[in-house]
Amino acid sequence: MEEKNAVSTYKTVLEGGAGEIEEKKSRFIATVRPVSSEEEALAFIEEMKKKYWDARHNCSAYTIGRRMELMRASDDGEPQGTAGRPMLDVLTGQGICNAAVVVTRYFGGVLLGTGGLVRAYSAAVQAGLAASTVVEKIYGAQLDIRVEYTDLGKVQYIIGQNKIPMLGSEYADGVTLHVILPAEEEQRFAKNLADATSGRAVIEKTGSAYYCEAGGKYLLD
C-alpha cells in the first residue's frame, strides 16, 4: 500500500530480548520488545511489573511511530532524570522506532549517585538491545517483471548486480520475476532493464511495503 510522506528507512526491533548488568551489587535487567502502539507499550510495561513484582524499580521508555511521533519515559521512583530519560536517549540515539524497554532494578544496598544511575540504566538498555534482533526496514516498491527467456539472463544479471531482493518467480510461456527494491531506485532500475532488453521487459508495480532481511529471508509489512 502506497504511503504518503513515507520515511525511506527506519530501525526497529524485530525480536525482543533481555540483557542484564550488575553495578555495585544492584542488578539491572533490561527487557526489550517491539510495539506498534502506546497501548501495546503500556501493556508490556504492566506485564514486566507483574513479572518482577518484587523489584525496587521497573523503569521504562518507548518510542512509537516511524518518525518517533510519540516518546515516553518513566523513572518509576528513581531520582528524576536518572533512569527513564537515559533509557529513551539510548533508543533515540540508535534511531530505534516502535520499541519499548523496561529496566528492572534489584537494589543491592549501595547508592550509585545520579551519574552512576544514568550510566547503569543506559548500559542496561544497550545490553537488552544487544540481545535483541534490531533491523533496518526500507520503504520499497514491489515490481513484477515479465520477460522472454532470451532476456532472462540479462535481467537476472542486473538484479544480482544491484542486490535486489527476489520474492519469487513464475515460469510459463515467459518468466515473471517478483522483486522489491528501495522506492527511490525504481525509475533508475526500470530504465536499466528497458535499456538491457531494448524495451521488451514489461514492468508492473504491484504495491509498496517496508521490508528487511532476517535469517536469509525478506520480510514485508
**Global pTM?**
0.85
Nearest to 13 by CA among 183, 130, 181, 140: 130
**pLDDT tens column, 93-106:** 999 999 999 999 99
**Lookup: cell for 116:** 552512576
pLDDT (mean) for 139-149? 95
Percent of the chain with pLDDT over 90: 87
HSE value, Cβ hemisphere, 13 Å, CA-based, for 116:
10
Q: Are residues 125 and 148 in the same domain?
A: no
Q: Is residue 7 part of a domain?
A: no
pLDDT (mean) for 149-169? 93
As for how many domains the chain has, the answer is 2
pLDDT (mean) for 174-186? 94
Domain boundary among 110, 131, 152: 131
Q: What is the pLDDT of residue 186?
A: 93
Q: Is residue 210 part of a domain?
A: yes
pLDDT at 1 over 60: no
Domain boundary among 89, 110, 131: 131
pLDDT at 151 over 60: yes
Nearest to 36 by CA among 87, 116, 99: 99
Asked if residues 180 and 209 have their Cβ atoms less than 8 Å apart, the reply is yes
Domain boundary among 131, 166, 190: 131
**pLDDT tens column, 84-95:** 999 999 999 999
- State the CB neighbour count (10 A cutoff) for residue 20: 16
Asked if residues 166 and 47 have their Cβ atoms less than 8 Å apart, the reply is no
Q: Are residues 99 and 164 in the same domain?
A: no
Q: Are residues 106 and 152 in the same domain?
A: no
- Alpha-helical runs (H) found in 16-65: 38-51
Q: Are residues 103 and 53 in the same domain?
A: yes
**pLDDT tens column, 101-136:** 999 999 988 778 889 999 999 999 999 999 999 999
HSE value, Cβ hemisphere, 13 Å, CA-based, for 14:
17
pLDDT (mean) for 17-36? 95
Q: What is the pLDDT of residue 135?
A: 95
- State the CB neighbour count (10 A cutoff) for residue 23: 18
The mean predicted confidence, pLDDT, of the chain is 93
Round to whole Å and give the CA distance between 60 and 121. Answer: 10
Print the domain residue range for 66: 17-131
Q: What is the pLDDT of residue 136?
A: 94
Round to whole Å and give the CA distance between 85 and 114. Answer: 12
Q: Is residue 166 part of a domain?
A: yes
Q: Is residue 31 part of a domain?
A: yes
Asked if residues 98 and 34 have their Cβ atoms less than 8 Å apart, the reply is yes
Q: What is the pLDDT of residue 217?
A: 85
Position 131, amino acid: A
Banded model confidence at residue 66, pLDDT cuts 50, 70, 90: very high
Round to whole Å and give the CA distance between 130 and 141. Answer: 31
**Lookup: cell for 192:** 536499466
